[in-house]
A and B are shown apart, each in its own frame.
Chain A
Amino acid sequence: MKEKFKRGKWKEFLDWAQNKSLSMLHYCTGCGAIELPPTMTSRYDMSRFGIGQAATPRQADLLLVTGYLSTKTLRRIIYTYEQMQEPKFVVGFGSCTINGGMYWDSYNTIKQLDKYLPVELYIAGCMPRPEAILDGFLELKQKIDSGEAKGYEEYEENIEFYHKNQEEVLGEVQRTQ
């Protein structure tokens, strides 16, 4: 059991600022991305919660994995995740990231996202509606504000576990430095 150390005042302030302004990388991997444009535009407006859009991984905090991931896409998503700056968060969308979903018997998709990337939150549904997406984002913001969203630190600490799983499924991943 990891003991919860006390956050300093500065880190608390930074977490508060981080939860008020998230920038989301608009990377649409699977069929779930069809529910993102309604969430971003006028009807279920997402920007009133402070969540904006980022154009490149270097400017983003939040990576949304919307739907299934074939092994070809998983390789690119790992490159994208490792390019983002800390602190960074991953949210899994839909039931394909939880346990395979609709494509559970396909030879080419991965079944559990948890073994390759550290996931903060799953949003259930096939596809979740924009109200469910906004509910998930609000819970993510609360988690960031209270300091429990530490996925990026877990990635650093257990990096051999993640690398072993990645290389088992992908064959060989080219690492920088």
Chain B
Amino acid sequence: MINILTTALHFIGITIFSAALGLFFMGIARKIVARIQKRYGPPIYQPYLDVIKLFGKKAITHGFIFDFGTIMAFGGVIATLFFVPLGAWTLYSLNGTVVLIIYLLAIASLGMAMGTVGSGNPQASIGISRALTQMLGYELPYLVILFGLIYKYQTSSVFGLAQAQAGGIMNWNLFTYPVATVLAFVILIGMTGKKPFDAMIAPSEIGSGPVVESGGKYLGMMMLQKSITIIVELALFVNLFLGGADNILSFSIKMLIVWILATMVGSLFPRFKIEEGVKFFWKWPLIIAIIQVLFIIY
């Protein structure tokens, strides 16, 4: 009984911590982009105020499927969170593998797709079909790199891959396989939806994509979902290529450095069309990844 209670408290604690950290990262990203554009930006705690304001507004609903889709998107990403080790907090990650996380990340997008079917707006369906197409694009080179790493270290759990890089800085995958790390960084920019791969959000073109009909509480939930998604993807990158960490503080600092670099790269580009984005991922990153994996195997 006490076991169940402590596990439940663990769940809630990790969710709240990830949401708060994710919103903090989003605030830092806005400040960095503002400084690059030579202006002062909003204060760093601005996303917290946005979320509080959004939960205080009234919202209208478009039916049961719309509500259910929003909850499924939010719940799916929380479920993914429990399989990713954050520093020394390994909740269920000893039971799960990398492939599990990759396909759990797809549940969030499917939840949003259900929500857009419920809302009935054609711009939302264009947005979500672009998001799913882009996921098809970037997962292919990512999985090739992952299979290379799994072959090398003979284990496929994320925690095991992080442990296998222990023993000093030079053991990190960043220094043993630098090409794979750079490729995974480019794919990270595609995963988090930064420019040049943000055709799925596209504010002026399709009215911000899948969240076009959400207002008030639904938009607040979508914002929290986005912040937790950022944490999951960054944690995956740090665990696989930067050696994990022993405590949550150094883990957060590593995630922060990767996030700052991704934001700085992402603020320079215009937007790709969706066909160009997928073609990009299937051309040079795929070829380089295959060469790298052959290099690992032989």
Q: Indicate whether B38 reaches chain A with its CB closer than 8 angstroms.
A: yes
Q: Indicate whether B41 reaches chain A with its CB closer than 8 angstroms.
A: yes
User: Is chain A's binding surface mostly helix, strand, loop or mixed?
Assistant: loop
Question: Are B203 and A55 neighbours in the complex by a CB distance under 8 Å?
Answer: yes
Question: Are B41 and A18 neighbours in the complex by a CB distance under 8 Å?
Answer: no
Shortest Cβ distance from B201 into A: residue? A55
In the complex, A166 Cα to B157 Cα: how many Å? 65
Question: Are A21 and B214 neighbours in the complex by a CB distance under 8 Å?
Answer: no
- Which of the segments B12-20, B45-53, B224-232 contacts the partner chain? B45-53
In the complex, A14 Cα to B43 Cα: how many Å? 19
For A52, list chain B residues within 8 Å (CB).
42, 50
Question: Are A55 and B215 neighbours in the complex by a CB distance under 8 Å?
Answer: no
Question: Are B57 and A56 neighbours in the complex by a CB distance under 8 Å?
Answer: no
Q: Indicate whether B97 reaches chain A with its CB closer than 8 angstroms.
A: no
- Which of the segments B76-84, B204-212, B254-262, B273-281 contacts the partner chain? B204-212
Other-chain contact of B204, A20, A43, A55 (Cβ < 8 Å): A55
Determine how close the nearest CB of chain A comes to the CB of B40; give it in whole angstroms: 5
B residues 19-73 near A (Cβ < 8 Å) are 30, 34, 37-43, 46, 49-50, 52-53, 56-60
Determine how close the nearest CB of chain B comes to the CB of A163; give it in whole angstroms: 20
In the complex, A104 Cα to B214 Cα: how many Å? 39
Q: Indicate whether B75 reaches chain A with its CB closer than 8 angstroms.
A: no
Question: Are B215 and A42 neighbours in the complex by a CB distance under 8 Å?
Answer: no
> How many of chain B's residues touch chain A, expressed as a range?
20 to 34
Q: Indicate whether A59 reaches chain B with its CB closer than 8 angstroms.
A: yes
Shortest Cβ distance from A152 into B: residue? B58
Q: A55-B207, A58-B213, A59-B215 are in contact. Are A50 and B56 (CB under 8 A)?
A: no
Determine how close the nearest CB of chain A comes to the CB of B114; give it in whole angstroms: 18
Q: A17-B56, A21-B49 are in contact. Are A50 and B203 (CB under 8 A)?
A: no
Q: Indicate whether B216 reaches chain A with its CB closer than 8 angstroms.
A: yes
Question: Are B212 and A17 neighbours in the complex by a CB distance under 8 Å?
Answer: no
Q: Indicate whether B174 reaches chain A with its CB closer than 8 angstroms.
A: no
CB pairs A–B below 8 angstroms (14 shown): A14-B52, A14-B56, A17-B53, A41-B37, A41-B39, A42-B39, A43-B39, A47-B39, A48-B43, A50-B42, A55-B204, A55-B208, A56-B208, A59-B219
Residues of chain A touching chain B, judged by Cβ–Cβ distance below 8 Å, are 14, 17-18, 20-21, 41-43, 45, 47-48, 50, 52-53, 55-56, 58-59, 61, 84-87
List of 7 A-B pairs having minimum Cβ-Cβ separation, nearest first: A58-B215, A14-B56, A42-B39, A55-B208, A45-B39, A17-B52, A85-B215
19 more A-B contacts (CB under 8 A) besides A20-B49, A45-B40?
A: A14-B56, A17-B49, A21-B46, A21-B53, A42-B37, A43-B39, A45-B34, A48-B40, A50-B46, A50-B49, A55-B212, A56-B208, A56-B212, A58-B212, A58-B214, A59-B211, A85-B57, A85-B59, A85-B216
